[in-house]
Amino acid sequence: MLPKNWIPEWFDDWTAKNPINIFGPAIWIGGAGGAIFVAAMLVSWGNPLETESLQTGPRGTGMSVTKPVDVLATPDPSVADYFGDPPYEIAEDEPLAKDIYENVQVLGDLSEGNFTRIMASITQWVAPEEGCAYCHAGANEGNYADDDLYTKVVARSMIQMTQSINDDWYPHVNANAEVGVNCYTCHRGEHVPSDVWFRIAPVNEGVAGWSANQNRATAQSQSTSLPSDALEKYLLEYESIKVHSLEAHVSENPSDVGVATWQNTERTFSLMNYFSNSLGRNCVFCHNSRAFYDGGQVTPQWATASLGIQMVQEINNDWLVPLTDVFPAERLGPVYDDVAKVACRTCHKGYQQPLQGQNMIRDYPELAASGPPVYE
């Protein structure tokens, strides 16, 4: 054991007269050591914030979309739950579904095996827990013919709508490769697809006017102060998507027909914000940020998105709104008793391609067009 005063007095005296700051060097040494450690980890394990860029326009224009690699590599959880069943071989002289079952108004030209195959698939896509009884009230007794349940009437129309989408809107749903849509694209195992919308503005006459649309945190406005009626105006009422004049001191009056006002502009911003969140991409995925207004400088994705807008308008007006009287009251909107409608996010769910480009019609040519299916 060292004596109590083992340090010489001269050393204490010298250190008292010559103090040394040991904290500064320690901080520098610690910082350098930490940097070396981080660098070694990045070399060994890779950059956790690594990104990939998708070039969407000419080089040098800054038209690219950057996303973290780990985000791009994260699979849509719905893909793992997808149920698909390839077509059955058709035996010679095999009877058709319409000749076997009663009241088969769609898909009647399918063989019995393929008809029951697609019915089983639709059940898994829309009502996996309830089974056939979700659409067929007498399923437990073997009666599938009656139209007692509204769900069967709606399902029949939705099958025709799916065929129409795959046939008439081929350039949108198969823009990059064969993808198409089937019931699971929207439903994902749920009776009512998520991310549908209802009319909400204005709530009543007392709050009518522009203030009823602006500064309201709604799902339609993506919880921003932007107008909450963009989906209604553009994806249901066919209003033209446009912004105010780019010229200064214009003589046009906001009350004139065809004149775009600041309200139209903000409503357009609201729709574009919805677009970005629906696809998980930003503005330059479709536009040149230096000239949003110039159609000659847009990307190829702009054309695909434009077709998507027209497709959604048709789905809402030609397929969904006509079913309003078919749905029970509890399935209608909270303000106007309107039917649920679709928009981009109903299918995309935050991904550039629904189900990350999963081919949804490869196993279901019956849903690819309204005519007889082509089995390959």
58 vs 36, residue with greater confidence: 36
Burial 214-253 (b: 16+ CB within 10 A, else e): bebebebbbeeebbbbbbbbbbbeeeebebbeeeeeeeee
Rounded Cα distance between 256 and 254, Å, is 5
136 known ligand binder: yes
Segment of 134-138, 260-264, 288-292 carrying the highest mean pLDDT: 134-138
- pLDDT score recorded for residue 169: 97
Residue 103: C-alpha distances to residues 106, 109, 119, 159, 198 (Å): 9, 13, 14, 15, 32
pLDDT band (50, 70, 90) for residue 83: very high
pLDDT band (50, 70, 90) for residue 353: very high
1 known ligand binder: no
Rounded Cα distance between 199 and 335, Å, is 7
187 known ligand binder: yes
Q: Give the pLDDT mean for 193-221.
A: 79
272 known ligand binder: yes
The mean predicted confidence, pLDDT, of the chain is 87
- Check if the beta carbon of residue 344 is closer than 8 Å to that of residue 369: no
132 known ligand binder: yes
- pLDDT score recorded for residue 35: 86
191 known ligand binder: no
| pLDDT tens track for 3-46 | 666 677 777 777 777 777 767 777 888 888 888 887 887 677 66
161 known ligand binder: no
Rounded Cα distance between 152 and 144, Å, is 10
Residues 201, 206, 211, 216: is their CA dihedral positive or negative? Answer: negative
- pLDDT score recorded for residue 333: 95
**Domains defined along the chain, listed by start:** 84-169+364-376 (no CATH), 195-245+258-348 (1.10.468.10)
Rounded Cα distance between 146 and 139, Å, is 10
pLDDT band (50, 70, 90) for residue 58: confident
Q: Give the pLDDT mean for 251-267.
A: 83
- Check if the beta carbon of residue 312 is closer than 8 Å to that of residue 343: yes
Percent share of the chain, pLDDT over 70: 90
Strands 64-68 and 51-55: antiparallel
SS3 337: coil
Give the angle 38-40-44 at the CA atoms, nearest 5°: 115
Residue 55 pLDDT exceeds 90: no
Q: Give the pLDDT mean for 202-216.
A: 69
Q: Chain-centre distance of CA 15, in angstroms? A: 70
Residue 100 pLDDT exceeds 80: yes
347 known ligand binder: yes
- pLDDT score recorded for residue 106: 95
pLDDT band (50, 70, 90) for residue 148: very high
| pLDDT tens track for 282-339 | 888 898 888 888 888 888 899 999 999 999 999 999 999 999 999 999 999 998 999 9
DSSP state of 356: G
244 known ligand binder: no
DSSP output for 201-248: S-SSGGG-SGGGTTT---TTTTTSSS-S-HHHHHHTS-PPP----SSS
158 known ligand binder: yes
262 vs 135, residue with greater confidence: 135
360 known ligand binder: no
Rounded Cα distance between 191 and 127, Å, is 6
Residue 190: C-alpha distances to residues 61, 74, 90, 185, 187 (Å): 43, 22, 31, 11, 5
Residue 118 pLDDT exceeds 90: yes
287 known ligand binder: yes
Q: Give the pLDDT mean for 356-372.
A: 92
- pLDDT score recorded for residue 182: 97
Residue 210 pLDDT exceeds 80: no
- H/E element, 112: helix 112-126
